[in-house]
Structure 1
Amino acid sequence: MKITHCLHTAILVSDLQKADDFYGQILGLEKVDRILKYPGVWYQVGDYQIHLIVHPNLITSLPNTEQWGRNNHIALAVDDLNQAIENLQNHGHLVQHSRSGRQAIFVKDPDGNIIEITQVINP
């Protein structure tokens, strides 16, 4: 077997409206049509998708509350990390800078799922 690329990541959320506001409005991800009938929202990021799936009794746990990046998370790339930080903080979201020294931060979505945002400079 040879894996050729990653197709999507599914993220469980308890409140679809709050999650859609975070992923669609604050992060600015592009919403795409879904083909499944259960509650959720799909976003397109390049040739990759993020699927939000509603789980009304969701309990999110962070085994490592000190370093958010040492928990399950999804990583997204931006070209201007300072702009991303400002946008997130303007919307009331706390950010945690990567302790590795990389140009990266971690933020929690409304359900406490961790999102890594890393600055990537294209040549």
Structure 2
Amino acid sequence: MNITRCLHVALLVSDLERSQHFYESVLGLEKIDRDLRFPGAWYEVAGFQIHLMVASNSQGGLDNPEKWGRNRHIAFSVASLEAAKERLLAQNCPLQMSASGRAALFTQDPDGNVIELGEL
């Protein structure tokens, strides 16, 4: 086997409209077309896709509430960590700075999926 590229991650959400608001208005991602018959929304960042799929019985939550980075998460690079932090705080999003001391923070979408934002 020779894996050449990562294509997408699928995240379970309970309320598609609420999740779309977070991914579009808070994170600033652009939705892409999808031709499927089940509820969801697709986003693409630099050739990598994020698939939101509705699962009304989704049980989010943190396995490690003290250190969000030690939970399942998706990571994005940002141009300015300070600008990202200000935007999240302005939207009343939860956030936790990286415990490692590096330029990164963690937030959660409305279903508790952890998102890492790092300045590389």
For Structure 1 versus Structure 2, the TM-score category normalised by the shorter chain is: over 0.9
**Structure 1 runs of 4+ with >2 Å offset:** none
What is the SS of the residue equivalent to 2:92? coil
Instruction: Give the total of aligned pairs.
Output: 120
1:2 aligns with 2:5: no
Q: Deviations over 1:43-84 (max 9, x none)?
A: 010110000000011111311010000000000110100000
TM-score by length of 1: 0.95
1:69 aligns with 2:72: no
Q: Deviations over 1:12-70 (max 9, x none)?
A: 00000110000011100011001211000000101100000000111113110100000
- Counterpart of 2:60 in structure 1 is 60
1:97 aligns with 2:85: no
- Counterpart of 2:79 in structure 1 is 79
Unaligned runs of 5+ in 1: none
> Pairwise CA RMSD of aligned residues?
0.7
* Aligned mates of 2:95, 2:61 — CA distance in 1: 18
* Aligned mates of 1:98, 1:47 — CA distance in 2: 26
1:88 aligns with 2:88: yes
1:15 aligns with 2:15: yes
* Percent of pairs with identical residues: 52
- Equivalent position amino acid for 2:111 in 1: D
* Aligned mates of 1:100, 1:65 — CA distance in 2: 15
